[in-house]
A = this chain, B = another copy of it.
Amino acid sequence: MNACILSIGDELVLGQTVDTNSAWLSQQLAAVGCDIVAHATVGDDQLACETAIRELSQRANVLVISGGIGPTEDDLTRQALAAVLDAPLERNAEWMEALETFFASRKRPMPEINKVQALIPRGATMLYNHAGTAAGIRATVGTCEVFSTPGVPKEMKAMFTRDVLPWVSEKTGGAVVASRTLHTFGLGESAVAEKLGPLMTRGRNPSVGTTVANGYVSLRLNVRAASREEGVRQLDDTEAACRGALADVIFGSGTDALPAAVGTMLKAAPGQPTVATAESCTGGLVAKMLTDVGGSSGYFHYGWVTYANTAKAEQLGVSESLLAQHGAVSEPVAIAMADGARSRANSTYALSLTGIAGPDGGTPDKPVGTVWIALASPTGTTARKFVMPGDREMVRDRSAKMALTMLRFALLGKPMPF
């Protein structure tokens, strides 16, 4: 089963946007046993699109296109596909209705130009878009099945997962490559690799590799096996070995996110514990992460963003003398913030953060990246100092994730192993 991927857009071909869709699509297609023959990118030019569709459809059994189905004049994928198919574009009644419902529910008139998004070449199939106004198109070009999806990554991914992947999976039938992902936070990539040791040996089946994204080090387990059952069994064994090596540093798998993992633990813990937040340097990011999770109102009720010292004093009861004596970025202030938040919110736990996110404000004693994180709990309040790497955004992001991780280990009843 050969696959090609085509990205369409001036912003891509001109290099103004880096194409991340193609890499994602490749991973998905490879994971179900496709050989990826080629990626191609062309601009918003109908003839270039036609040429690319013709060429790539001759080299593959499946061609996934992303981009060029927006409502504006520079979106020409549907015209190009119609030209390649030598079929007229026809208005798809089902999608026209969906568009009308979409705009009606927003109490906005449908702009005239959006109607073009319901045009589908005769004989092709409309693919439903649950996240936007661009319908996808599925058509057969020679011996190749062509799927035209939106360029917006979120819309493309939803449509691909729902309408393309199952078809491809069925076609590749049997030659199973299964994979699994485990997520960690707190240790660096090389520390994770050291703990995994021979599990990461090249050529091992299942293979174990690491990838780093947004401070998370993830383990990717890939297996080649004759059947799905056999693959799953082998993945189970390797996952158990990875968990043996890393224990609670692993917070989740697959699509699990750290805030959701913490939320699940809070919901499952006896006595319905709650958590409050008191943030300075992270400016609300910890509260934002906690509330990323649907249903977080069950365990999160109160958060403070005390960016100024007066706010720390007035809102959390941090004493002026403590602030004057130790400075805002200090262990006593972090502890006083967490205690103040816990008592005012009447919560089981409270997290506080005070630090120097940069780019300014660093000193030799307290360089940019210095962050005190405190956790107040029924058994007492502890604080840890970290010096986070990177720029303002990274310092804030890593600090927030570390705060959630401190809470996670408290809920586990174990000390943090780093």
* Bound Cα distance A209, B111 (Å): 18
| Closest chain B residue, CB of each to CB of A295 | B360
Interface segment, A88-96, A187-195, A407-415?
A187-195
Count of residues in A whose CB is under 8 Å from the partner chain: 105
Does A226 sit at the interface, judged by CB under 8 A? no
Does A291 sit at the interface, judged by CB under 8 A? yes
Chain B positions within 8 Å of A124 at CB level: none
| Closest chain B residue, CB of each to CB of A11 | B211
The reply to whether B40 and A41 contact each other, CB–CB distance below 8 Å, is yes
The reply to whether B303 and A304 contact each other, CB–CB distance below 8 Å, is yes
Interface segment, A19-27, A140-148, A332-340?
A19-27
Does A71 sit at the interface, judged by CB under 8 A? yes
Does A12 sit at the interface, judged by CB under 8 A? yes
The reply to whether B113 and A209 contact each other, CB–CB distance below 8 Å, is no
The reply to whether A18 and B18 contact each other, CB–CB distance below 8 Å, is yes
Does A212 sit at the interface, judged by CB under 8 A? yes
A333-362 vs B, CB cutoff 8 Å, 1 = contact: the mask equals 000000000001100000000000111100
The reply to whether B283 and A113 contact each other, CB–CB distance below 8 Å, is no
The reply to whether A26 and B14 contact each other, CB–CB distance below 8 Å, is yes
Within 8 A of B (CB), among A270-308: 277, 279, 282-288, 290-292, 294-297, 300-308
Interface segment, A159-167, A233-241, A387-395?
A387-395
| Closest chain B residue, CB of each to CB of A152 | B212
The reply to whether A30 and B12 contact each other, CB–CB distance below 8 Å, is no
Does A65 sit at the interface, judged by CB under 8 A? no
The reply to whether A297 and B291 contact each other, CB–CB distance below 8 Å, is no
* Bound Cα distance A113, B52 (Å): 37
**Residue among A12, A112, A181, A359 having the largest count of chain B Cβ atoms under 10 Å:** A12
The reply to whether B13 and A38 contact each other, CB–CB distance below 8 Å, is yes
A305 to chain B, nearest CB (A): 3
Does A70 sit at the interface, judged by CB under 8 A? yes
| Closest chain B residue, CB of each to CB of A3 | B13
A390-410 vs B, CB cutoff 8 Å, 1 = contact: the mask equals 111100100000000000000
Chain B positions within 8 Å of A282 at CB level: 288, 291
The reply to whether B41 and A38 contact each other, CB–CB distance below 8 Å, is yes
| Closest chain B residue, CB of each to CB of A43 | B36
The reply to whether A302 and B291 contact each other, CB–CB distance below 8 Å, is no
Does A72 sit at the interface, judged by CB under 8 A? yes
Partner pick for A300 among B37, B307, B357, CB 8 A cutoff:
B307
Does A44 sit at the interface, judged by CB under 8 A? yes
Chain B positions within 8 Å of A10 at CB level: 209, 220, 222
* Bound Cα distance A48, B60 (Å): 13
* Bound Cα distance A179, B15 (Å): 11
Q: 6 additional contacts, CB 8 Å, given A55-B55, A284-B285, A303-B304?
A: A10-B220, A13-B39, A38-B41, A72-B190, A107-B387, A291-B307
5 smallest CB-CB distances across A and B, nearest first, come from A283-B291, A15-B26, A303-B305, A284-B284, A284-B287
Give me 8 A-to-B residue pairs in the complex whose CB atoms sit less than 8 angstroms apart, sorted by A's number. Answer: A15-B36, A38-B42, A39-B40, A111-B191, A284-B305, A292-B393, A294-B392, A296-B307
| Interface set of A (CB-CB < 8 Å, partner B) | 9-20, 22-28, 30, 36-44, 48, 52, 55, 70-74, 105-107, 111-114, 131, 152, 179, 181, 188-191, 193-194, 200-202, 209-212, 220, 222, 277, 279, 282-288, 290-292, 294-297, 300-308, 310-311, 314-315, 344-345, 357-360, 387, 389-393, 396
